[in-house]
Amino acid sequence: MTDIADLTTLFTGPLAPHAGKFLLAKDRPPQMAGTDILDPWKLSELIESFGARHYPGGDRRAIASIWSKAHFSILMPPYLILSLVYDRIANVGLDEIGLSFGVHGDTQHLHLPDTGKPAGNVGTHDRFAGLMDQHIAPLANTLNRISSISRNVIWSNAGNSFELTLSKIEKAIGKSRGVVQARELLAIRQLPNRKANPLAEPVRYLKNEDVDCRQRRVCCARYLIPALSLCSSCPLPRRPDERGSS
């Protein structure tokens, strides 16, 4: 599949729930450039609006983390569908895309410059380099700057969304070349530049009464908002008021 005129034809049938998360900028102009969310003032506005609507008075670190989880839930499914199902590399660098947000600061759409390019014989790191280096990394840095949330937490949120989406795709299509490379990315500790891989092993599967339990390696920090229960994959021990709950 070397030439695709638009994205709508790709997200049909069981993929339909992800239609519209990626749009072509030429068809639907964005509200702002992707790099605008690297402006601390603009990103703070989004986080504050999101927090005021969903978690008024909540810890800013937790709100920034939960906002990023919502953002990655828009980014990862269509990105990995294009990569692993259609063997295409989508251009999702913040310097290449546009963004649209809901009235409460939550990410609604990513506006892409084009439909990407065939992956061909690209290596594992190169397949995902744009996602990591030009989207997650600068976003994690800015979220850390405006809220003091650890970059490791943001990378863990991205990795959790990546792995969850990957597992669903792998179950549906088996071990395509892209799926194998995605698994390799999550398994390697060191990138080709000799730096630590921030997406390494975002989750673990632990045996609990012969059932595989999915557990994050790093907590998303939602415990900083006392009204929220821990998520089902949280690595922290449950609070006393949650024990015995599902």
Residue 241: pLDDT band (50, 70, 90) is low
- How much is the mean pLDDT over the chain? 92
Residue 244 inside a domain? The answer is: no
Residue 246 inside a domain? The answer is: no
Per-residue pLDDT, 184: 98
* Model confidence pLDDT, tens digit, residues 56-89: 999 999 999 999 999 999 999 999 999 999 999 9
**pTM of the full structure:** 0.92
Please give the structure tokens belonging to residue 96.
């290449």
Number of domains in the chain: 1
Residue 14 inside a domain? The answer is: no
* Model confidence pLDDT, tens digit, residues 21-48: 999 999 999 999 999 999 999 999 999 9
| Measured distance CA(92)–CA(136) in Å, rounded | 10
Contact 149/61 with Cβ under 8 angstroms?
yes
Q: Find the domain containing 63 and state its range.
A: 20-237
What is the Cβ-side half-sphere exposure of residue 124, based on CA atoms within 13 angstroms?
16
Residue 3 inside a domain? The answer is: no
* Model confidence pLDDT, tens digit, residues 160-196: 999 999 999 999 999 999 999 999 999 999 999 999 9
What is the Cβ-side half-sphere exposure of residue 131, based on CA atoms within 13 angstroms?
27
| Measured distance CA(106)–CA(101) in Å, rounded | 5
* Model confidence pLDDT, tens digit, residues 187-224: 999 999 999 999 999 999 887 766 678 889 999 999 99
Residue 36 inside a domain? The answer is: yes
